[in-house]
Chain A
Amino acid sequence: MIYLDYSATTPVNDSVLDTFVNVTKNFIGNPNSLHKLGVEAKQLIDASTNQISELLNISPKEIIYTSGASEANNTAIKGICYRYKNRGKHIITTKLEHSSVIATLQYLQADGYDIDFVKTDIYGRVDLDDLKSLIRDDTILVTIASVNSEVGVIQPIEEIGKLLKNYPKIYFHSDMTQSIGKININIENVDLISFSAQKIYGLKGIGCLIKKEKIVLDALIHGGKSTTIYRSGTPAVGLIASLAKSLRLALENLNQKYDYVSSLNKYLRDKISKNNNIHINSNKYSIPHILNISILGIKPETILHALEEKNIFISTQTACASKSDSSIAVYEVTKNEEYSKYSIRISLSHLTKKEDLDTFYDVLDNTIKELNKLNESH
């Protein structure tokens, strides 16, 4: 099997899975219980939280565990908007956001919130002047993903954060699901950050919202205090310990892994750029882990299934937006309808082997030739 869909989800690391199994078996108490078993479970959660906070250079109090990045995005956006609605109801975002951000914003729109989309440049990067011009007295939130999941464009998060520091009543949220554990990123001026374990070789069902200490949110899930008042429910000890482990492993040798993935990206790009049937949509600001391409005239699903038959796995659009047949993100970056209609995403990892890319490319090239031949004969 050749798996090239790491941006959709990653296979779980064996030692992360071992941590989950061991903790789940051996720490059976409810961390909220006062007896010894509860205390032991609570201590393990605290140790995991401390580890995460050290790895990300934040306070342990800033960590809210969620079921994943979608819940973290919902918690951050709705939490800010409901809490500070008396200050204003204006939100600024981009067209490059994950569906869990767009859907949350549309839900709020029905409740009277006004949403503006900031312009992006020819590379799909936020236009800082336009962002500044959109800011109003009633703006309460700016939500911009650090890396787009389809084309991989990295946003100037540090510059956006610095700009927004001039507006103390505006909170800055960033969905960092596609960047944490893949690239170095400065989170100093970001108020709220979402990410999940399943994108960094952890388990599905656990994510995290980092919320700067001074910020108060309206909670979405009410109940007991749990690990935080912002998200009630019995803490998932095993998942929390596994998240800490997956984050530690993801950040280990990060630069080395980044360089390796960059070399893979360049290798594949060089091959693909010689093929006249393929257009590369990812650009110089894209993370090397994502290579978005378009094969004009051939439906992305046809390519996906043809590759699937050879046990090669790529993706068309992000899984959460699979009902629409053209990629909004690819259009936003390329401004070309054809490229957005025929786009596919190849996502790479430090686990990807160069020879897998050779096989992938040969199969893709043959598939295109065969499908084009079929088209011509019809």
Chain B
Amino acid sequence: MKVIKITAIWCSACLIMNKVWNKILEKMDIETISLDVDLDEDLVSKYEINDVLPVFIFIKNDKEIMRLVGEHSEEELLKIIKEVGD
């Protein structure tokens, strides 16, 4: 499984979720591709995100299986990762 993480530098929810995501990466190995909505505009456009950030897109076998937007707790995220990973 890999995760596309889409954030913006001016977004406080992204700052919070970067910290949460880094804690998760300390516990498990998940390939993460980080994109910035302003700097990686072309790459981000193909994921058709709406205006709420950050966006975590979970990809398995080259298919999107889920996306999460906004702020979530570490526990919540761990639970979701376990569910989609199974």
A contact set with B: CB distance below 8 Å: 95, 97, 99, 102-103, 105-107, 109, 114-115, 117, 320-321, 323-326, 328
Contacts and interface: CB of A to CB of B under 8 A. Distances in A.
A106 B53 contact: no
A117 B12 contact: yes
Given A323-B51, A324-B52, A102 B37 contact: no
A295 to B, nearest CB: 18
Interface string B1-36: 000000111111111101100000000000000000
Interface string B38-68: 0000000000001111000000000000000
B19 A103 contact: no
- Listed residue (A320, A323, A324) with the most chain B CB atoms within 10 angstroms of its CB: A324
A323 B11 CA distance: 10
- Listed residue (B8, B13, B15, B51) with the most chain A CB atoms within 10 angstroms of its CB: B15
A115 to B, nearest CB: 6
B11 A324 contact: yes
23 contacts: A102-B12, A105-B15, A106-B10, A106-B11, A106-B15, A107-B9, A109-B18, A114-B19, A115-B15, A117-B16, A320-B10, A321-B10, A323-B8, A323-B37, A323-B51, A324-B11, A324-B52, A325-B50, A325-B51, A325-B52, A326-B51, A326-B52, A328-B11
A109 B50 contact: no
Interface of B: 7-16, 18-19, 37, 50-53
Contacts of A97: 12
A164 B9 CA distance: 28
Contacts of B19: 109, 114-115
Given A324-B52, A325-B50, A325-B51, A102 B10 contact: yes
Contacts of A102: 9-12, 15
Given A106-B14, A109-B18, 9 more contacts: A95-B12, A102-B12, A102-B15, A105-B15, A106-B18, A320-B10, A323-B37, A324-B8, A325-B50
A318 to B, nearest CB: 10
Nearest to A318: B10
Shortest 9 CB-CB distances between A and B: which pairs? A325-B51, A99-B10, A103-B9, A103-B10, A106-B15, A102-B12, A106-B9, A95-B12, A324-B51
